[in-house]
Structure 1
Amino acid sequence: MINNDFYNIILAFFTAFAITFLTIPVIIKIAKAKKLFDFPDKRKIHVRNIPTLGGLAIFLGFVFAMTFFTKFIYYCHIQYFTSSLIIISVIGIKDDVIGLSPIKKAIGQIFAASIVVIWGDLRIVSFYNIFGIMELPYVISVIFSIFTILVIINAYNLIDGINGLATSMGIIASTAFGIMFFLTGINYQQSILAFSLAGALFGFLKFNITPAKIFMGDTGSMVVGFIISFLSIEFLELNNTKESIIFSSFSIPLIAMSFMFLPLYDLVRVFCIRLWNNRSPFKADQNHLHHMLLKLGLSHMFSTFVLSLFACLLITLALTFHKYGNYKVGLILLSTCLFFTFILYLLIKRNGTSTLNGK
Structure 2
Amino acid sequence: MLYFLIIIGFVLSFLLSVIIIPRILVVAYRKRLFDIPNERKVHHGIIPRLGGISFVPAILFSISFTTGLRYLIGYEISGDMLCIIIPEFYFFICGLTLLYLAGIKDDLVGLRYRSKFVVQIIAASLIPLSGLWINNLYGILGIHELAPWLGIPLTILVVVFICNAINMIDGIDGLASGLSIISLGLLGSLYLSDCQWIYASLAFSVLGTLLPFFYYNVFGKANHCTKIFMGDTGSLTLGYILAFLAICYTRVNPEIHPPYSSGVIIIAFSSLIVPAFDLIRVVLIRARNHKPLFLADRNHIHHKCLSAGLTGRKAVICMLGLACAFILLNMVLINTINNNFILVLDILLWFASIEWLNKSKEHVNDK
Which category of TM-score, normalised to the shorter sequence, fits these structures? Answer: over 0.9
Q: CA contact under 8 A between 1:159 and 1:263: conserved in structure 2? A: yes
Q: CA contact under 8 A between 2:107 and 2:232: conserved in structure 1? A: yes
Which residue is 1:349 aligned to?
A: 362
Q: CA contact under 8 A between 2:253 and 2:259: conserved in structure 1? A: no
Which residue is 1:268 aligned to?
A: 280
What letter is aligned with 2:280? V
1:59 aligns with 2:56: yes
User: Identity over the aligned pairs, expressed in percent?
Assistant: 33
Query: In 2, distance between residues paired with 1:151 and 1:353?
Result: 37
Question: In structure 2, do the counterparts of structure 1 residues 243 and 229 end up closer, same or farther at CA, with 3 Å as the change threshold?
Answer: closer
Which residue is 1:329 aligned to?
A: 342
Which residue is 2:189 aligned to?
A: 179
Query: In 1, distance between residues paired with 2:38 and 2:122?
Result: 31
Of 227-236 and 79-88, the range deviating more from structure 2: 79-88
Cα-to-partner distance string for 1:280-309 (whole Å, 9 max, x where unaligned): 121111111111111123221221111111
Which residue, 151, 170, 175 being the options, matches 1:141? 151
Aligned 1:238-277 pairs, distance under 5 A: 240-241=253-254, 244=257, 248=261, 250-277=262-289
Of 94-103 and 52-61, the range deviating more from structure 2: 52-61
SS at match of 1:349: helix
Which residue is 2:65 aligned to?
A: 68
1:37 aligns with 2:34: yes
Query: In 2, distance between residues paired with 1:84 and 1:353?
Result: 49
SS at match of 1:65: helix
Query: In 1, distance between residues paired with 2:90 and 2:193?
Result: 24
SS at match of 2:43: coil
Query: In 2, distance between residues paired with 1:115 and 1:244?
Result: 23
Offset, 1:11? 1.3
1:191 aligns with 2:205: no
Which residue is 2:101 aligned to?
A: 90
Deviating runs (4+, > 6 A) in structure 1? none
Which residue is 1:304 aligned to?
A: 316
Offset, 1:246? 8.3
SS at match of 1:127: coil
Which residue is 1:80 aligned to?
A: 91
Of 334-343 and 133-142, the range deviating more from structure 2: 133-142
Offset, 1:130? 2.2
1:214 aligns with 2:228: yes
SS at match of 1:131: helix
Q: CA contact under 8 A between 2:306 and 2:312: conserved in structure 1? A: yes
Which residue is 2:74 aligned to?
A: none
Which residue, 285, 289, 300 being the options, matches 1:288? 300
Q: CA contact under 8 A between 1:295 and 1:353: conserved in structure 2? A: no
Offset, 1:125? 1.1
Q: Cα RMSD over matched residues?
A: 1.8
Which residue, 207, 226, 231 being the options, matches 2:245? 231
SS at match of 1:310: helix
Query: In 1, distance between residues paired with 2:209 and 2:32?
Result: 25
Q: CA contact under 8 A between 2:309 and 2:361: conserved in structure 1? A: no
SS at match of 1:37: coil
1:103 aligns with 2:114: yes
Q: For structure 1, which runs of at least 5 residues remain unmatched after alignment?
A: 355-359
Q: CA contact under 8 A between 1:255 and 1:319: conserved in structure 2? A: yes
Q: For structure 2, which runs of at least 5 residues remain unmatched after alignment?
A: 72-76
Q: CA contact under 8 A between 2:308 and 2:358: conserved in structure 1? A: no
Which residue is 1:313 aligned to?
A: 325
Q: How many residues align?
A: 347
Question: In structure 2, do the counterparts of structure 1 residues 67 and 243 end up closer, same or farther at CA, with 3 Å as the change threshold?
Answer: closer
SS at match of 1:298: coil
Q: CA contact under 8 A between 2:270 and 2:330: conserved in structure 1? A: yes
SS at match of 1:304: helix
Cα-to-partner distance string for 1:59-107 (whole Å, 9 max, x where unaligned): 2221211111236964221111111111110010010001111110011
Query: In 2, distance between residues paired with 1:317 and 1:209?
Result: 28
